[in-house]
Amino acid sequence: MGYTHCWRYQPHSGAYAAAWPAIVQDTTAIIAAVTTHVAIAGPDAAGVPRLSPADGISFNGGPGRNGEAFTLAAPGPTGRQWCFCKTLALPYDLAVTATLLRCQLLLPNTFWIASDGDWDQQWRPARQLIRGLFGAAPTASPFSGAALPTAADYRYLATRTDPD
Protein backbone atom coordinates (compact mmCIF):
# COMPACT_ATOMS: atom_id res chain seq x y z
CA MET A 1 0.00 0.00 0.00
CA GLY A 2 2.89 2.41 0.55
CA TYR A 3 3.39 4.62 3.57
CA THR A 4 -0.21 5.03 4.68
CA HIS A 5 -2.29 6.30 7.59
CA CYS A 6 -5.87 5.21 8.10
CA TRP A 7 -8.62 6.37 10.39
CA ARG A 8 -12.15 5.46 11.28
CA TYR A 9 -14.52 8.08 12.59
CA GLN A 10 -18.18 8.93 12.98
CA PRO A 11 -18.98 12.17 11.13
CA HIS A 12 -22.69 11.60 11.80
CA SER A 13 -22.25 11.54 15.60
CA GLY A 14 -23.08 14.30 18.02
CA ALA A 15 -19.60 14.08 19.54
CA TYR A 16 -18.00 14.71 16.15
CA ALA A 17 -20.34 17.64 15.45
CA ALA A 18 -19.50 19.14 18.86
CA ALA A 19 -15.74 18.75 18.27
CA TRP A 20 -15.84 19.93 14.64
CA PRO A 21 -15.28 23.68 15.29
CA ALA A 22 -12.17 22.80 17.33
CA ILE A 23 -10.99 20.36 14.64
CA VAL A 24 -11.21 23.04 11.95
CA GLN A 25 -9.56 25.67 14.17
CA ASP A 26 -6.81 23.32 15.34
CA THR A 27 -6.10 22.01 11.84
CA THR A 28 -5.78 25.61 10.69
CA ALA A 29 -3.19 26.18 13.45
CA ILE A 30 -1.36 22.96 12.52
CA ILE A 31 -1.15 23.93 8.87
CA ALA A 32 0.00 27.45 9.76
CA ALA A 33 2.81 25.98 11.87
CA VAL A 34 3.82 23.39 9.27
CA THR A 35 3.83 25.83 6.35
CA THR A 36 6.71 27.72 7.91
CA HIS A 37 8.92 24.97 6.42
CA VAL A 38 6.68 22.68 4.30
CA ALA A 39 4.47 23.55 1.30
CA ILE A 40 0.84 22.66 1.99
CA ALA A 41 -1.67 23.04 -0.84
CA GLY A 42 -5.24 22.18 -1.69
CA PRO A 43 -6.31 18.59 -2.29
CA ASP A 44 -5.09 18.60 -5.90
CA ALA A 45 -1.63 19.90 -4.81
CA ALA A 46 -2.46 23.41 -6.01
CA GLY A 47 -4.12 26.40 -4.43
CA VAL A 48 -4.89 26.60 -0.75
CA PRO A 49 -6.00 23.94 1.72
CA ARG A 50 -9.73 23.59 2.29
CA LEU A 51 -10.45 24.30 5.96
CA SER A 52 -14.18 24.87 5.95
CA PRO A 53 -16.72 24.31 8.72
CA ALA A 54 -19.31 23.60 6.02
CA ASP A 55 -17.28 21.74 3.38
CA GLY A 56 -14.71 19.87 5.43
CA ILE A 57 -10.94 19.71 5.54
CA SER A 58 -8.75 18.68 2.62
CA PHE A 59 -5.10 19.32 1.84
CA ASN A 60 -2.05 17.84 0.19
CA GLY A 61 1.61 18.59 -0.21
CA GLY A 62 2.71 21.27 -2.64
CA PRO A 63 3.41 20.57 -6.32
CA GLY A 64 5.97 17.83 -6.77
CA ARG A 65 5.85 16.99 -3.04
CA ASN A 66 2.37 15.55 -2.86
CA GLY A 67 0.80 12.16 -2.33
CA GLU A 68 -2.88 11.58 -1.74
CA ALA A 69 -5.09 14.31 -0.36
CA PHE A 70 -5.94 14.17 3.33
CA THR A 71 -9.66 14.68 3.84
CA LEU A 72 -12.05 14.91 6.78
CA ALA A 73 -15.77 15.26 6.16
CA ALA A 74 -17.78 17.97 7.85
CA PRO A 75 -20.37 16.60 10.30
CA GLY A 76 -23.39 15.02 8.71
CA PRO A 77 -24.57 11.82 7.09
CA THR A 78 -21.93 9.99 5.13
CA GLY A 79 -21.51 6.44 4.04
CA ARG A 80 -17.76 6.53 4.44
CA GLN A 81 -16.40 6.29 7.94
CA TRP A 82 -13.07 4.63 7.14
CA CYS A 83 -10.46 6.62 5.26
CA PHE A 84 -6.80 6.42 4.38
CA CYS A 85 -4.10 8.70 3.02
CA LYS A 86 -0.90 7.57 1.33
CA THR A 87 1.52 10.38 2.12
CA LEU A 88 4.57 8.40 0.96
CA ALA A 89 6.30 9.97 3.99
CA LEU A 90 6.59 13.24 2.07
CA PRO A 91 7.01 16.43 4.12
CA TYR A 92 3.25 17.17 4.28
CA ASP A 93 2.98 13.96 6.32
CA LEU A 94 3.63 16.11 9.39
CA ALA A 95 0.37 18.03 8.83
CA VAL A 96 -1.51 14.77 8.27
CA THR A 97 -0.17 12.99 11.34
CA ALA A 98 -0.60 16.04 13.56
CA THR A 99 -4.20 16.49 12.41
CA LEU A 100 -4.99 12.82 12.98
CA LEU A 101 -3.40 12.93 16.41
CA ARG A 102 -5.32 16.07 17.36
CA CYS A 103 -8.61 14.50 16.22
CA GLN A 104 -7.88 11.40 18.28
CA LEU A 105 -7.14 13.56 21.32
CA LEU A 106 -10.40 15.49 20.87
CA LEU A 107 -12.46 12.34 20.20
CA PRO A 108 -10.72 9.47 22.01
CA ASN A 109 -13.78 7.20 21.92
CA THR A 110 -14.92 7.84 18.34
CA PHE A 111 -11.83 8.61 16.25
CA TRP A 112 -9.36 5.77 15.75
CA ILE A 113 -6.06 5.89 13.88
CA ALA A 114 -3.57 3.37 12.55
CA SER A 115 -0.41 3.88 10.55
CA ASP A 116 2.46 2.27 8.72
CA GLY A 117 4.61 4.80 10.58
CA ASP A 118 6.42 3.95 13.76
CA TRP A 119 5.00 5.73 16.82
CA ASP A 120 8.42 6.31 18.37
CA GLN A 121 10.10 7.58 15.20
CA GLN A 122 7.82 8.82 12.40
CA TRP A 123 5.12 10.16 14.74
CA ARG A 124 7.53 11.98 17.07
CA PRO A 125 7.43 15.26 15.06
CA ALA A 126 3.60 15.25 15.17
CA ARG A 127 3.62 14.70 18.93
CA GLN A 128 6.08 17.55 19.37
CA LEU A 129 4.00 19.85 17.19
CA ILE A 130 0.76 18.99 19.03
CA ARG A 131 2.44 19.50 22.41
CA GLY A 132 3.84 22.85 21.29
CA LEU A 133 0.53 24.10 19.90
CA PHE A 134 -1.96 22.67 22.39
CA GLY A 135 0.05 21.76 25.49
CA ALA A 136 -0.49 18.02 25.57
CA ALA A 137 0.23 14.98 23.44
CA PRO A 138 0.06 11.29 24.23
CA THR A 139 3.24 9.43 25.07
CA ALA A 140 1.73 6.00 24.47
CA SER A 141 0.67 5.02 20.97
CA PRO A 142 -3.03 5.64 20.28
CA PHE A 143 -2.97 3.29 17.27
CA SER A 144 -6.00 1.04 17.25
CA GLY A 145 -7.02 -2.00 15.32
CA ALA A 146 -10.45 -0.36 15.12
CA ALA A 147 -9.01 1.97 12.44
CA LEU A 148 -7.95 -0.88 10.17
CA PRO A 149 -10.03 -1.73 7.11
CA THR A 150 -12.78 -4.31 7.29
CA ALA A 151 -14.05 -6.59 4.53
CA ALA A 152 -16.76 -4.00 3.82
CA ASP A 153 -14.11 -1.29 3.39
CA TYR A 154 -12.25 -3.44 0.88
CA ARG A 155 -15.49 -4.12 -1.01
CA TYR A 156 -16.14 -0.39 -1.13
CA LEU A 157 -12.65 0.27 -2.51
CA ALA A 158 -13.09 -2.42 -5.15
CA THR A 159 -16.34 -0.93 -6.45
CA ARG A 160 -15.77 2.82 -6.15
CA THR A 161 -15.56 5.03 -9.19
CA ASP A 162 -14.79 8.33 -7.42
CA PRO A 163 -11.16 9.53 -7.52
CA ASP A 164 -10.80 10.14 -3.77
Tell me the per-residue pLDDT of 65-110, one tens digit each, with 9 for 90 and over.
999 999 999 999 876 689 999 999 999 999 999 999 999 999 999 9
Q: Is the pTM of this model over 0.95?
A: no
Handedness of CA 36, 126, 111, 14 (dihedral sign): negative
DSSP one-letter code for 145: G
Q: How far apart are CA 159 and CA 19, in angstroms?
A: 32
Residue 164 belongs to a domain: no
Distances (CA, A) of 36 to 31, 77, 91, 128, 163: 9, 35, 12, 15, 30
Determine the structural domain holding residue 113 and report its residue range. 4-159
Q: Which is more confident, 139 or 126?
A: 126
Query: Looking at the 3D structure of the chain, how many domains does it have?
Result: 1
* Whole-number pLDDT of residue 157: 67
Residue 77 belongs to a domain: yes
Q: How far apart are CA 88 and CA 105, in angstroms?
A: 24
Residue pair 95/36 in contact by the 8 Å Cβ criterion: no
Q: How confident is the model at residue 63 (pLDDT cuts 50, 70, 90)?
A: very high
* Whole-number pLDDT of residue 111: 95
